Amino acid sequence: MLADALRRITDNLESMRRGLEAPAGVQEELKGKLEKGYRSTEHGGDFDWVSSPCVSYADLEPWLERVRGGDHGALLTEEPITWVMTRGTTGRSKVIPVTRGHMDALVRGGSRAVINFAMGHGGLETLAGGVLNLQFPSNMRVMEAGGREIVYGFSSGTYARLNPMMAGLRLVPRQEEVDALETGLSVGDWERRYELIYQRARGEDVVTVMGVAPVQTGFARYVKKRHGVWPRDLWGLRVIYTTSVAKIQSRYAPLLRNMYGDAPVVEMYTATEGAFGQQVDALPYWVPNYDLYVYEVKTRRGLKPMHELRRGEWGRVVVSTPMFPRYMIGDLVEAMGGNYFRVFGRDRPMVELEHRLFRAAFGWFL
């Protein structure tokens, strides 16, 4: 069993590295596979990589309504196994289907930050212990989909429930315990979840925390205010995995190390729609999963493959996933050279203006 686990880990990391070493070839190969799937759907029947446009969630909503009605072939190559919702960082929450192909890419990509760190810091023994579960509830709402009622919730909690032992890590508490509280997003609901997590985890051998950066800092502040201790006083974390916001290394990493202890902060570029990248070394940037998703960027000069961006070039992230072709995820990305990237904000006018002013003032130095 251990030998099989080690082989899967090695194969997963090797696939990531092949993509980084030869992104053009790996992306072209993946394009062929994805195009075949897209063309089997009504939405993507005439899809091609030359002329097909980029799409937003709003563009896909009518097609998603048909999937909810039971016609999955309108947009997807396979039936959804469940549905999830986003946190609504750019407005109202999005509701998105989850297919097996999507989950396979998400699990492979989402585990890479964990296993890459483990293999570089002592091997599989690094994974022995608990991971503090700060994920959102997976049972927020009920809807009709495919002729039956579906209970669904936030993507992070749903993915934790569907794959509770990702990369060998054991969630504390289990996602089912978090869901059993039947909480929402009010201050009181957050405090109830935080208290459950504290009570369940305080006597456990917790070796890491994984989740959304503002939730991680929120939990730490709650524990300090309510119980008079920081997480660093309770556990000796080996690493902190954090995701879902921009400027993690500059804004959140110092806070997290102060609250949770002087452990490495490893950034993951994940979203409801996929696990798109991860930090793999000491540089404060992430690298793409070129073998799992097709990456393009809408720049001032048009749509470009992400791997062709020069250092300092930036634009809107466009990803093609097992479910969605040329999907505008709503993030702004900057190339840092050598297949390293950073997301500097959401796709909003003020964020773009701020970045343009920053580049105008300091671009000569950078």
Taking only the tens place, the pLDDT of each residue in 89-117 is: 556 789 999 999 999 999 999 999 999 99
Per-residue tokens: 224: 């300090």
Edge-to-edge strand list for the sheet holding 130-133: 170-172, 130-133, 206-212, 239-243, 265-271, 274-278, 287-288
- Report yes or no: 222 and 194 within 8 Å, Cβ to Cβ: yes
Asked whether residue 161 is domain-assigned, the answer is: yes
Residue 31, pLDDT score: 99
Helix, strand, coil percent values for the chain (each to nearest 5): 45, 25, 30
* Cα gap 266→271, rounded to integer Å: 16
Asked whether residue 49 is domain-assigned, the answer is: no
The three-point CA angle 157-117-153 to 5° equals 5
* Cα gap 24→26, rounded to integer Å: 6
Asked whether residue 183 is domain-assigned, the answer is: yes
Q: Does a cis peptide bond (omega within 30 degrees of 0) precede residue 325?
A: no
Residue 163, pLDDT score: 66
Asked whether residue 179 is domain-assigned, the answer is: yes
Counted domains in the chain: 1
Asked whether residue 177 is domain-assigned, the answer is: yes
Residue 363, pLDDT score: 60
Asked whether residue 304 is domain-assigned, the answer is: no
Q: Which helix (H) or strand (E) holds 188?
A: helix 187-201
Residue 361, pLDDT score: 63
Residues in the chain where the model's pLDDT stays below 50: 364
213 C-beta neighbours (distance < 10 Å), count? 22
Edge-to-edge strand list for the sheet holding 294-299: 302-305, 294-299, 314-320, 327-337, 340-346
pLDDT tens digit string along 9-51?
899 999 999 999 999 999 999 999 999 999 999 999 999 999 9
* Cα gap 209→237, rounded to integer Å: 8
Asked whether residue 65 is domain-assigned, the answer is: yes
Of 303, 302, 344, 338, the closest CA to residue 320 belongs to 303
- The enclosing domain of 145 has a CATH number of 3.40.50
Domain that holds residue 27: 2-31+60-295
Residue 165, pLDDT score: 53
Asked whether residue 38 is domain-assigned, the answer is: no
Per-residue tokens: 302: 């048009």
